[in-house]
A and B are shown apart, each in its own frame.
Chain A
Amino acid sequence: MRGRAIKLRDLDLLLVAVIAVGGVFAWKTGRERERLTARYDRLAAITGDLKLTDPAKVHFQALETGDPMHFAWRIYYPPKCNPLIAGDDYDGGWWSKEPTESIGHVRFHGTERGDLDSYVRFPGGGQWGYHARGAPARFLIDHWNELEIEQIGAKGLAVINRDETVSLLRITFPDDLRDEAETLFPTHLVPVYYELKLGPDAAKP
């Protein structure tokens, strides 16, 4: 009976030791988890929190910019993807053997001279674009909040097949502005004033 008692006490001690070592590991990994979670949250506030649903597909998640003329996305491209992005003010493609994550921008801005310019930036590079001058520029800036804007990923994560062509950003004159827009802009810019596409057929009109 005495030997059994001693063996059971040994087992108790062994279990206590296992708990102590495990407790230290759990505490250390818990602290590290807190630190990493805080860092992740801080970064996600800047870059957006993109959760991959299918690593073989392209993902677009719109980001909040605080500027109605500035559109941004957190983007994931699968490996060996050859994306092409094209529009009136941008034409860029690139290739990467590895999966790529990036932030893309389309930003319109009024200049001191009263013009409307744009800057489009994706992994293929950044391009400045001239949009309008004088009365047309003034019209666009004054009515910007009335334009119909469709931004992919704005209502949630957009998951796109790599051979699919989609519109990333489309800006359309609403019905009540079309008559006036037709007097200011060439016919091909009314009603769809701006469109930026992604995909193999992006460059096709």
Chain B
Amino acid sequence: MMPEGPPLEADSPAAVNRRPPRRQLGIQQLILLVAAIAVWMTAYVNHQRNQSLDSRIRVMVPLAHELIVDDPSKIAVVKLEQSLSDDNRWDLYLPSGAYRLCLATRDVGKDGLAPVTKSVPIRSGNHRLALTQELTKTSGRVIVTEGKTVLLDMLEIAEWHDYGSDEKGHFSLNEQLPTDKPVILYRRRFYQPTGRPYESVMPKGPTEGILLWIERVDGSKLSGEFKAK
């Protein structure tokens, strides 16, 4: 047993030596600490800003009517912002395959398809289609264009459209759709006269109207002209 010596004075050299070494940060550790704070602050600020941007973008997407292709194997379609009463335009993406753009002006039901009046092949890729209707006292004309190219042009008699209508343009929000089902872009059904003066009704069954859709077709049955496009 070592004899216990007299208590040491707190700040005597011997007492200082007995204390556990105080951890001191050198210049190197300080630099590392500042760098650590800086990178984490950057990450935090970016994260906050990204959350804010993301919430603003969610609000803007439906307003912008922007075509978004999430899955290249599906059809993507969006109707563009309407600023005129007969302003019907769509941006669409068609995956690889053969398709045709179809127009019907007779026997248009409340849902489903109708006998094709005119059709035109449409290739895969991105398109902007516009539907124009010229309904006058003497005739009715339906034109579908892509840029300055007329894809479909159908002339109807005046009685075809003379009694008012219900219309429905689809895809005001961007949608992704499978390729094996027709994509109906526009449906308009005209009222029919009852026989009494100034009275017309919407028939329950198929009636005159406008139905515009895109459907996939069997590529092996395509004509040379179709394939060339």
Question: Do A36 and B81 contact each other (CB < 8 Å), given the known contacts A16-B32, A25-B43, A30-B42?
Answer: no
When C-beta atoms are compared, the residue in chain A nearest to B59 turns out to be: A101
Minimum CB–CB distance from B34 to chain A (whole Å) comes to 10
Minimum CB–CB distance from A65 to chain B (whole Å) comes to 8
Q: How large is the interface on A (under 10, 10 to 19, 20 to 34, 35 or more residues)?
A: 35 or more
CA distance A65 to B84 in the complex (A): 13
Interface flag for A144 (CB, 8 Å): no
Q: For residue B85, which residues in chain A have a CB less than 8 angstroms away from its CB? A: 117, 119, 126, 128
Question: Do A103 and B57 contact each other (CB < 8 Å), given the known contacts A26-B42, A43-B64?
Answer: no
From 47 to 91 in chain A, residues with beta carbon under 8 angstroms from any chain B beta carbon are 47, 65, 70, 72, 74
Question: CB < 8 Å: which of B40, B43, B66 contacts A43?
Answer: B66
Interface flag for A102 (CB, 8 Å): yes
Q: How large is the interface on B (under 10, 10 to 19, 20 to 34, 35 or more residues)?
A: 35 or more
CA distance A133 to B143 in the complex (A): 26
A119, B32: Cβ atoms closer than 8 Å: no
CA distance A19 to B36 in the complex (A): 5
Q: For residue B54, which residues in chain A have a CB less than 8 angstroms away from its CB? A: 36
Question: CB < 8 Å: which of B46, B84, B134 contacts A32?
Answer: B46
A15, B50: Cβ atoms closer than 8 Å: no
Interface flag for A40 (CB, 8 Å): yes
Q: For residue A105, which residues in chain B have a CB less than 8 angstroms away from its CB? A: 81-83
A43, B46: Cβ atoms closer than 8 Å: no
Q: For residue B59, which residues in chain A have a CB less than 8 angstroms away from its CB? A: 101
CA distance A29 to B39 in the complex (A): 11
Q: For residue B64, which residues in chain A have a CB less than 8 angstroms away from its CB? A: 43, 46-47
Chain A to chain B contacts (Cβ below 8 Å), 8 pairs: A22-B42, A36-B57, A37-B53, A43-B61, A46-B63, A107-B83, A119-B85, A121-B82
Closest 7 CB pairs of A and B: A29-B46, A22-B39, A15-B32, A25-B43, A128-B85, A36-B53, A26-B42
